[in-house]
Structure 1
């Protein structure tokens, strides 16, 4: 790339180009984000956007601007502070130390405020002065765009800069395929510097005054698979007053991030349907599993979001068998994009992994769809809306038997038949996620433990819905569920030196993959375990090898493949711990309290914006959780885990137009009052006394 001038001392090292310059996924744990999906701006902590790593202005599945460097008289000002009022607005403060009065006190400062809306980025640059004499300077921006596809950025491979049109005026533009970006710089004069552009304002600041200029970037992609919703979030406002001061800001930040992750896509008859995109920066699109879990966790504040997500996924429900896309009749999709997405990884045979624009390679989204429909109904979703989705429910239940159980052994299993899709198709979908305790990888087809729990609950609760709406078939699904429960009990239980537990999976030879993992926590509350099984699973989850103090590890520390920063083999995922916590609460287990304490500590440590995952080091060894450097944030189900935590510790139990509350014991949060949660669109006030006695009142 051409550059404005040689600046070797100021260019940051690109962490995505290490190890003999081999491309690697960029790290983002120390970057600043301003977001309003599908638009996101990632920068250094001082607001500067360089030409390396992830930093840039992204819209949909493209990075647009890859360079946006602010200078005063050709120099970068010294960063002082940054603050964020909410996720779509960030302010950075810096000092141009060469300006102003002599002496140690700064008398000139530069404030850079960045505001993001869907398809719009606005930056305001304000130079203020308390110097004794007028300050004369130039305010400059070095601007560059690469229009790189998101999967290329994720793989650590950049693109050459794309020169803008309009240099010489105050409006620059870029056009490529369906993407158009227009950058307005009122009052600036622009010049070309290689394939970059420089914009400059001449500034005079009188004593005690300030001067402001602005940038306005509009973005549009006419072929985008998803867009911003046309309406505001419909969920109720949640207000928390608690002696435990961690809860209120945590819930506020959670709901703010989820609001900014909202997206929409056309459903049946072209009607806009809303959902929550899986996460920034890589997954701002519709994901079956992620969007469903998020909607489920948000049911205490909105059934509308769940129903919209369900309708959209039902609209895309599989109708044919296609190995290339993993589509099957009745199956719920994995993800949707406007173009294919390279995983930038190869399998054991060296074959590249590349997903098509619409991809169905997930084993669990279909039963999770059925469970979300049932849960939305229990939380008060309108009967007529639920009833219209019952044909899709029947197709989903049929898929479990006719396609999910490909070999007819009564269990759901998966295998990538295309050779280029995901080799693992549960929520732990990395290539090395399913390991034995000796560290060796299991070979597919694989039958995951938690998927059997989802499938069992989907069949049982699907039958309940069919009965409630006088539709036939309920007995068939209950009988099928009973057989699945017996098969699970006979084939998944294994032992180690401590005792029994369910294996993570059965391998292609139907042998248990003996490894203690967090997957077993997802079985709680599904009904697939008997009382003894519930007891064993609950106790194993809180053993010192599994509970880190900040959450439940994905893999036991006693396993040979354990690594605290292993993506699915030792790290902690907030949503995973929240699901385990919800299961413990549903089973009314005493282990609920320590797991809640661990999750709350983690969410608080990340200032209410929990990342996708973090390191699984013990709390005694690391007093704060260590970031996983490449983790997405905000991640939809990580953010939603905060509300799931609140629901679990309150012991909320919905039954259509009735809600009960049974707080966890021991109750450690002091006097607490929460408003805005409820069923059937009717918020209630929930009060818990200092000693843990709960009560509620309808508004």
Structure 2
């Protein structure tokens, strides 16, 4: 069995509902294609025919991510000659729990057009992990065949399909709905399909309100910025989900990505909220509250839960990952196997406070902050050596528990895999910053423990400087990790870019890291590669060993901007080029081929899209090139330091700012910024 590819499929989305089809709009059996809802595929076949033939596709377009139109021609109908005189438009609209399709047959033929419009339908109600593994499932018979209302009901999932005016028949697996159609000259005839979906017991649902984010308006001489930002924000709105928090009220967050990860992920949802801080702090606060509600309280090797720990993911049922590194990997419904979500939670709380989140929302989360900081010392540092490390004690969880969580992600430069427990470089940076900034936040509210966390952070910084730095023929850089024997795992990776802006590096370290990130072996021209091309394990389409991840590059870019490095402009241009090449909808990752050899970035065929932190990378990019920072002492609560040289021409961006204080930012052609 092979994981389905999806790079050439069309998606119509409104989480937790998604429809994946071929580019012509047809949902044919096989692969990922289908109508999905809440971690289940409902319909695996939804094929439109005219007189038993599929029409010839002509065009498809999507104005927004929740709508799609497909235009085709039934070539056997209409006047003779080369000009098509009969057209079929299939419009698909998706809302949470609802899919609507409208089929409009129009004609300019000289005589009335008579035909049969048919729709072939089948449902398999397959679990998402089974679809992801490439497994096949038998169709489930429908109830109500013969009428215009059909239902499928199994394991808490109920789907209802309405085809008004159609007659339905079945061969036991497929259902065929047909309409007899007569289209007079110069007129059109329309028929509809409506699918309603309900998953009892689902752990996530659609938010009950609109996003409430301000519109961000861009007018720039660089015509790439506005469409990229507009599409990314639209995708993020469509990825919004909600789940019950501490008081039973829904808390909003961004689902990690379509198709596989439309649920709460600690790391992904936190990074997304951090990147969106100039647009909204409300999302960060609701995400923080929800994760605090699930914060670990006990020690459990099966779920990887520990007191104070922030979870990795939540699902309605367990999720099978298949075999990896010689073990059968499967995760329980609530799983805590992540080393970085806990420090990232602390950093997100500090960020939200800095960006002006209301104090009466921040203060109630301080006890959770204290538990998170205690986890770093008492559980994250399992062997007491002053560093955070991870190991899967269950034998069936994730073998790697940083953001690069595939089994082969942590490799030495000779290609060999490192064995856990592993202490990742970037996690030490997160933990250091979490302790320092967490102490600042506690001090601001008069809470105890400030000196303890600052002293612990200082020792961590010293240990990092002493143990992580290695050298190759080019020079010094931090190793990706320390292995189980506390030896450096020597390979040059993008992980080091996450250290920038955390404060764990001294000035010389910042300089060395920044320079290595833009070396020809790391900077592809479309972003920062996950692994140097000089490493033996490098592959341009290796998931974590040579590909480019937009969010990873955006984090490196934000760090370069925070350190005010001259490399910022180069990396920003590379990332903007990639986002533009994907039409503003960057996938989870793409191939690491050099731009000089591959004029457009090559898709990674199984990559999620849209994915939350990839979409949020557009906002992070804009924030980085503006040098946007919260500043209580500055006018409008913001400071600006546009990247130099400024290469985007005269630019005006309205709608960014701190909580409830939105400004218009103008940057002149020579890079001078003003706010108003």
Matched, 1:97 2:75: yes
Counterpart residue number, 1:210: 188
Segments of 5+ residues of structure 2 without an aligned counterpart are none
Q: CA deviation at 1:680?
A: 2.3
Tell me the SS of whatever aligns to 1:70: strand
Counterpart residue number, 2:644: 665
Q: Give RMSD over aligned pairs.
A: 0.5
Within 5 A, what are the aligned runs for 1:611-626? 611-626=587-602
User: Among 391, 401, 421, which residue is 2:367 paired with?
Assistant: 391
Counterpart residue number, 2:488: 512
Within 5 A, what are the aligned runs for 1:114-133? 114-133=92-111
Tell me the SS of whatever aligns to 2:456: helix
Q: Give a deviation string over 1:480-534, Cα, whole Å, max 9, x none.
A: 0000000000000000010000000000000000000000000000000000000
| Separation (CA, whole Å) in 2 of partners of 1:680 and 1:148 | 43
Q: Does structure 2 conserve the Cα–Cα contact (< 8 Å) formed by 1:29 and 1:631?
A: yes
| Separation (CA, whole Å) in 1 of partners of 2:65 and 2:322 | 29
Matched, 1:83 2:61: yes
Q: Does structure 2 conserve the Cα–Cα contact (< 8 Å) formed by 1:651 and 1:662?
A: yes
Counterpart residue number, 2:332: 356
Tell me the SS of whatever aligns to 2:45: strand
Within 5 A, what are the aligned runs for 1:125-524? 125-348=103-326, 351-524=327-500
TM-score normalised over the length of structure 1: 0.96
| Separation (CA, whole Å) in 2 of partners of 1:325 and 1:519 | 26
| Separation (CA, whole Å) in 1 of partners of 2:171 and 2:322 | 32
Q: Does structure 2 conserve the Cα–Cα contact (< 8 Å) formed by 1:128 and 1:208?
A: yes
Counterpart residue number, 1:15: none
Q: CA deviation at 1:195?
A: 1.1
Counterpart residue number, 2:42: 64
Tell me the SS of whatever aligns to 1:257: helix
Q: Give a deviation string over 1:381-423, Cα, whole Å, max 9, x none.
A: 0011100000000000000000000000000000000000000
| Separation (CA, whole Å) in 1 of partners of 2:24 and 2:563 | 47
User: Among 601, 618, 627, which residue is 1:642 paired with?
Assistant: 618
Matched positions, count:
673
Q: Give a deviation string over 1:337-360, Cα, whole Å, max 9, x none.
A: 000000022332xx3100000000
Q: Does structure 1 conserve the Cα–Cα contact (< 8 Å) formed by 2:205 and 2:242?
A: yes
User: Among 675, 681, 689, which residue is 2:668 paired with?
Assistant: 689
| Separation (CA, whole Å) in 1 of partners of 2:193 and 2:323 | 38
Q: Does structure 1 conserve the Cα–Cα contact (< 8 Å) formed by 2:149 and 2:161?
A: yes
Q: Which stretch shows the higher mean deviation, 279-288 or 232-241?
A: 232-241
Q: Does structure 1 conserve the Cα–Cα contact (< 8 Å) formed by 2:324 and 2:407?
A: no
| Separation (CA, whole Å) in 1 of partners of 2:136 and 2:334 | 25
Q: CA deviation at 1:271?
A: 1.0
Q: Does structure 2 conserve the Cα–Cα contact (< 8 Å) formed by 1:347 and 1:353?
A: no
Within 5 A, what are the aligned runs for 1:576-587? 576-587=552-563
Q: Does structure 1 conserve the Cα–Cα contact (< 8 Å) formed by 2:325 and 2:407?
A: yes
Q: CA deviation at 1:172?
A: 0.6
Tell me the SS of whatever aligns to 2:302: coil
Segments of 5+ residues of structure 1 without an aligned counterpart are 1-22
Tell me the SS of whatever aligns to 1:125: strand
Q: CA deviation at 1:66?
A: 0.1
Q: CA deviation at 1:222?
A: 1.1
| Separation (CA, whole Å) in 2 of partners of 1:250 and 1:73 | 41
Q: Does structure 2 conserve the Cα–Cα contact (< 8 Å) formed by 1:613 and 1:627?
A: yes
Matched, 1:563 2:563: no
User: Among 649, 670, 677, which residue is 2:656 paired with?
Assistant: 677
Q: CA deviation at 1:194?
A: 2.7
Q: Give a deviation string over 1:279-330, Cα, whole Å, max 9, x none.
A: 0000000000000000000000100000000000000000000000000000
| Separation (CA, whole Å) in 1 of partners of 2:599 and 2:493 | 23
Q: Give a deviation string over 1:513-571, Cα, whole Å, max 9, x none.
A: 00000000000000000000000000000000000000000000000000000000000
Counterpart residue number, 1:552: 528
Within 5 A, what are the aligned runs for 1:585-596? 585-596=561-572
Q: Does structure 2 conserve the Cα–Cα contact (< 8 Å) formed by 1:553 and 1:570?
A: yes
Tell me the SS of whatever aligns to 1:270: coil
Q: CA deviation at 1:331?
A: 0.1
